[in-house]
Amino acid sequence: MSQRRRGYARPLDLGGKVDLSHGAGGRTAAQLIEQLFAAALDNEFLAQGDDGAVLPMPPGRLVMSTDSHVVSPLFFPGGDIGCLSVHGSINDVAVMGAQPLYLAAGFILEEGFPLADLARIVGSMGQAARDAGVPVVAGDTKVVERGSGDGVFITTTAVGVLRDGLNLSGSRAQAGDAILISGHIGDHGMAIMACREGLGFASPIVSDTASLHGLIADLLASGAAVHALRDPTRGGLATTLNEIAAQSAVGMLLREDAIPLRREVAAACELLGLDPLYVANEGKLVAVVGGNDAERALAALRAHPLGRDAAIIGAVHVDPQHFVQMVTAPGGRRMVDWLAGEQLPRIC
């Protein structure tokens, strides 16, 4: 995404629509990049204007993660595809314990998409990136014909730096560990579903989309023995815990009544026949910490605005079958299996 400095006969018309020339690498594409993308994402690295951004790199290991975003609708209570795509990739780097440093963004636009909507989305990306302190340093834009895409898809890649000595992994959970969640589950997925289904609630469901690296930094600084962190996105809490249980070759037992769940999210799930354990979150943290440090970790999470409603929701135990189970509110016990098949398409 070169930021080419030239004069244009007219400023970009935000009443217009994306056309194929916006992806062709010529003057029209350059104008879109300069007047819409570069203006919203403005930073010294993007302004270098070369094929690749040259970036200072502190010592440590590199952490890299990528996410494609196809959420529908593009705008939803609490956010849009722009800020979501910033938060998503930042969080994947942050849960490794790394400091996120830089973002790259690839846009696939459908011919006919309103430029005003694109400006709103890119503006939201820029704001989220500034709030997170992680600039979008490289980008690319392609345009496909009407009917070959769906408005806008955004693939973001985040890189960060991981200090020596810190090793978090889904494979490091061990018997005796405590399992924590940083707040209410299912908010993002049900915000999207409520939009799609036209559900109206007294208090509308708002996506939790947020960057978690500040919360994670506070947790790590607390001195608690953190073994694994994850953000439970697609597939929800249940899928994330099954992944960790399988990677670490352990079992888990959750307590249903300890898992934070908003009343309106529970109601929407019931209405739509969905289990909130499988509904996506975009600003929640799962932490597996040494059992003796559970309270210390909980206090660190609760001291941060994004962790106010954090809770200890279960424990890790020896289980050669790597099952995740749950003591239900009535007192029974049930399996929390992997998500089988499709639950919520295009949730992120």
Residue 317 one-letter amino acid: H
Among the listed ranges 56-64, 113-121, 173-181, 307-315, the one in contact with its own copies (CB under 8 A) is 56-64
The strand pair at 99-110 and 136-144 is best described as parallel
Cα distances (angstroms) measured from residue 244 to each of 191, 239, 336: 26, 9, 13
Three-class SS state of 256: helix
The answer to the question of residue 275 lying near its own copies (CB under 8 A) is: no
The strand pair at 178-181 and 61-69 is best described as unpaired
Contact 161, 57 (CB under 8 A): yes
Contact 92, 65 (CB under 8 A): yes
> Directed axis angle between helix 81-94 and helix 213-221, to 10°?
20
Which position among 6, 202, 221, 321 is part of the footprint of its own copies (CB under 8 A)?
6
To the nearest whole angstrom, how small is the minimum distance from the Cβ of residue 98 to its own copies? 7
Site string for its own copies, 59-88 (x = CB under 8 A): xxxxxxxxxxxx------------------
Q: Which is nearer to its own copies, 308 or 346 (CB)?
A: 346
Which position among 96, 121, 212, 220 is part of the footprint of its own copies (CB under 8 A)?
96
To the nearest whole angstrom, how small is the minimum distance from the Cβ of residue 39 to its own copies? 18
To the nearest whole angstrom, how small is the minimum distance from the Cβ of residue 342 to its own copies? 4
The footprint of its own copies on residues 7-26 (CB under 8 A) is 19-21, 23-26
Contact 177, 255 (CB under 8 A): no
Among the listed ranges 113-121, 180-188, 233-241, 256-264, the one in contact with its own copies (CB under 8 A) is 233-241
Three-class SS state of 100: strand
The footprint of its own copies on residues 170-199 (CB under 8 A) is 170-171
The footprint of its own copies on residues 122-151 (CB under 8 A) is 137-145, 147-150
Which position among 48, 127, 174, 222 is part of the footprint of its own copies (CB under 8 A)?
48
Chain centroid to CA 211? 7
Which position among 34, 231, 256, 293 is part of the footprint of its own copies (CB under 8 A)?
231
Three-class SS state of 260: coil
Backbone angles phi, psi at 223, to 5 degrees: 85, 0
Among the listed ranges 47-55, 173-181, 291-299, 311-319, the one in contact with its own copies (CB under 8 A) is 47-55
